[in-house]
Amino acid sequence: MTYLRAVLCAALSLFWQVDQASADDITLIARDGSITLSGTLIGYDGAFYRIETDYGILTVDGSGVSCDGPGCPSLGPFVADLVISGSQNLGAVLLPALVEGFALRQGYALKREEQPGPSIFYTLYEGDSGQEAARVTIHLTSSGEGFADLLGHEADMVLSQREVSSRERVMAYEAGMGDLRSHRQARVLALDGLVPVVSPGNPVRRMSMSQLAAIYAGKITNWKALGGEDAPITAYLLTENTGFTAVFEKKVISAQGVRLAKNVIRLPDNAELLDAVSRDPFGIGITPFTNVGSGEIVQLSGRCGFGVDATPLAIKAEDYPLTTPTYLYLPERRMPQFGREFLNYLRSDAAQLVTRRAGFVDQAISDVPLSHQGDRLANAIAQAGPEVTLSDLQRLSAFVTRQHRLSLTFRFEGGSTYLDAPSRSNVTLLARAFEAGRFDGKQLSFVGFSDGQGGAAANLKLARKRADAVRRAVLAQVEGFDPERVTILTEAFGEALPMACDENAWGRGVNRRVEVWVNGPG
């Protein structure tokens, strides 16, 4: 019995030593020996250690300490290791194109491997020496799993087809990862749009947002109600938490105050959805603009607004009502130099070209031709009420014929003056354009618009305040800029140019916006 107890004690002692080694796998010791920190190594970027300690997660400058323990990184040439997890659609197509474009631009040799999981694994080598420089792993999961990997320290960045949820945001903050909604931690990677598609033989090519919601709520069940054949409607949608499903349910179903019908057919991936719609003459599905297959896109319109076709320019300017940004989220921590260079590349003109070639809508600032404003002006005249006078419309018409609009629209989160996520990204894009001298010698106007709730005079004043808020946000991010190079103005037209109906919160949110117009050659 004594022998058995001794063996058991020895085994427990060995287990404790192994467990302690894995829990406190490194010790950082100051050069003069005055400070010692023990903990679990989370990351090393070639210059700084990130370790989890009893004091929380700390970042320690490697030049001032020595490392001891089984978790200490090799002191040979540093190889950056970047792990990105999230949306399968973005991870399989867009991100690989951007990684390969970055490698080409930086002169890296590249090796790509497909791995189970599924994952895509890249090894980048210095072009001249052949020395391994970086490894990039792309886990093809989902937006939700990407955030879970980030919180579990299993990913450095998240690819997401939706905004971070309140719960995920709180968990990340509590884990010491900062505020994932800040402009430094949330990047709009590219733009897309949600479009209703029908089979090529279906004659219905236009419907309102409320009609679309009614179809998926089971309130409109026959195509005859939409001007089509006397036939039952079959509605298809991706399974819950897949692709842009959460965005559709928020922007269309919840925004119209209805619930998703139980008889909506849910499918696991977009390929199956498109196949089902193509084979069903009375089916309708919701799919990304960048992947419509052989389906016919149905134009979305509103009773109080004109129809807007889903086009790259309409999506980029956010005129299309179901524009859906795609996001890259990263924690508030120091990235290795390779990671920082990659993030800078993502905002470059070269990356925007790669994004377009990959089939997504890029964020490069474009001019919106005056011809594209015709329908908007016609709609403004049609919807003008007693508080929008002829002189208001004449002032609006005179303004837009002297200027050209940029493909940047700024909107605010509901009930606040806080810019939404795409707008925060647009602030950075416009600031960089100022720094690059794109508007030197020109006059640039931030133009505010409002919804139609309340009095016209108050709405005009509020629209001007929003325009000024966006102007200040952009200039606050500009570095090394001489304000004498550009004439910057604010203008407002209040409720004179609606984009959607004011009858619900979604429509009012669409109408509350700030546009950017330039007087001078495009």
**Cβ atoms 160, 140 nearer than 8 A:** no
The pLDDT averaged over each successive group of 10 residues in the chain (522 residues) is 37 33 71 86 80 84 86 80 92 95 95 93 90 95 94 94 92 92 89 94 91 96 95 95 86 90 94 95 95 91 71 88 92 88 93 94 87 66 70 81 89 75 89 91 93 84 92 91 88 84 73 88 50
**Sheet of 305-308, strands arranged across:** 206-208, 299-302, 305-308
Considering the domain delimited by 22-76, tell me its CATH architecture.
Answer: Roll (2.30)
Interhelix angle 390-402/374-383, nearest 10 degrees: 170
- CATH class for the domain made up of 192-316: alpha beta
**Cβ atoms 501, 304 nearer than 8 A:** yes
Max intra-chain CA distance, the chain: 102
pLDDT at 374: 61
User: What's the sign of the alpha-carbon dihedral 469, 472, 478, 484?
Assistant: positive
User: 16 — phi, psi (to 5°)?
Assistant: -60, -40
Strands 56-61 and 48-53 come out as antiparallel
**Cβ atoms 495, 387 nearer than 8 A:** yes
The one-letter amino acid at 319: D
- CATH class for the domain made up of 80-185+330-341: alpha beta
Distances (CA, A) of 312 to 28, 188, 306, 414: 52, 16, 18, 26
| Cα–Cα dist 165/181, whole Å | 10
pLDDT at 3: 38
pLDDT at 21: 36
Fold entry, domain 365-519: 60s Ribosomal Protein L30; Chain: A; (3.30.1330)
User: Structural domain boundaries of the chain?
Assistant: 22-76, 80-185+330-341, 192-316, 365-519
Distances (CA, A) of 184 to 195, 332, 334, 345: 30, 8, 12, 15
pLDDT at 32: 83
Instruction: Find the Cα–Cα–Cα–Cα dihedral 147, 153, 154, 156, rounded to 10°.
Output: 70
The separation between the first and the last C-alpha atoms of the chain, rounded to the nearest angstrom, is: 90
pLDDT at 318: 87
pLDDT at 20: 35
pLDDT at 454: 81
| Cα–Cα dist 444/464, whole Å | 15
For tokens 């009012």, name the residue: 508
Domains 80-185+330-341 and 365-519 share a fold: no
